Amino acid sequence: MSPAQDYHTAVENAAMSLTVLPTSDATPTPAPGVYYNSRLDPKNFLEGPLSPNPSTRLRQMLARPGIVVAPGICDGISARCALEAGFDCLYQSGAATTASRLGQPDLAIATLNDFAEAGQMVSSLNPSVPVIADADTGFGGPANVARTIKTYIRAGIAALHIEDQVQTKRCGHLMGKQVVSREEFLTRIRAAVLARDSIPGGSDFVIIGRTDSAQVLGMDEAIIRLKLAAAAGADVCFIEGVKTKELLESTVNALAPTPVLVNVISGGLTPAFTYQQAEEMGAKIIIFSLVSCVAMVHAVRAAMHSLKKTGTDFISAQGMDPKKFFEVMGLQEVVELDAKAGGTAFQVV
């Protein structure tokens, strides 16, 4: 048996037997071989003001009551609209990023650079608001996964999820998915954790393990994979394509105390749960992956058809003149910064 297989067996056995011992503060006692980092223990994030560091802030949100609601954004416009609506966490969907940046379907066409550049732009709009970003399969082997982690951290992203699909992956709500072995999936998670923990000074970056195996190998296998991912150091578990309320509840119970993320896409494999319903079922994060880009397709289609038919954009503008548009994009922030710096370029706009 190879060293990798020995490690796999040790972690699997430990993960299956991981329990919480009856201590005074109910702190989980990890079984041998299970990843534990005392600095990242959730109890360290229960008190105090929310941090301006987005990864730390996300850990605080995960440790405290309430579900984390992250609307899917696809570009600067959708991110600005989500922030204006008052959301305190954003989700950079891989499907939406691929569509908005490349005009392509979610079929492993976008690269690490496409995702990281989009994430850096979105994270810069309000650097304290956590951005959870899709990272597909990590874009390669362990060295590539490590590079992905470090690139996302430098971009200001707060968290990412890595999945167990094969490299030529597809949207989790399409048919015909294929997944790698448990061990290859765990290799990706371990590489991500090692890369995060190697950051000088320590990083609070949140690593989310995602499995697409429920539709391929069944729910039991999906739960096993996520237990193994948590034992290897994943901070959150993401099971794609949970088809019923009962399955989501049983998943949450099986993976406790690890937080569970649920992905809702209208018309997809998962029912259209509201975030209130998901919270009642025990989910800790809910993402609405395509909420912005699907709405954008409808709106832009309607505007283009209207322009073609009427010869003007007056109807689709709905009274929004250029200044009002730029105000949504942060015009006032730029004007105020210029004035505070002593500039005079934008005294009249």
Query: Could you give the residue numbers annotated as active site?
Result: 91, 106, 134, 136, 161, 163, 171, 210, 240, 263
Please confirm whether the linkage preceding 257 is cis (ω < 30° from 0).
yes
CB 257 within 8 A of CB 228: no
CA gap 254, 240 in Å, rounded? 15
* Partners of residue 208 on adjacent β-strands: 161, 236
226, burial (CB in 10 Å: exposed 0-12, middle 13-18, buried 19+): buried
119, burial (CB in 10 Å: exposed 0-12, middle 13-18, buried 19+): buried
Query: Strand, coil or helix: what is 112?
Result: helix
Q: Which two structure tokens, joined as six digits, stand for 271?
A: 């029912």
Q: In 191-282, which ranges are E strands?
A: 206-211, 236-239, 260-263
CA separation, residue 95 to residues 74, 115, 294 (Å): 8, 10, 11
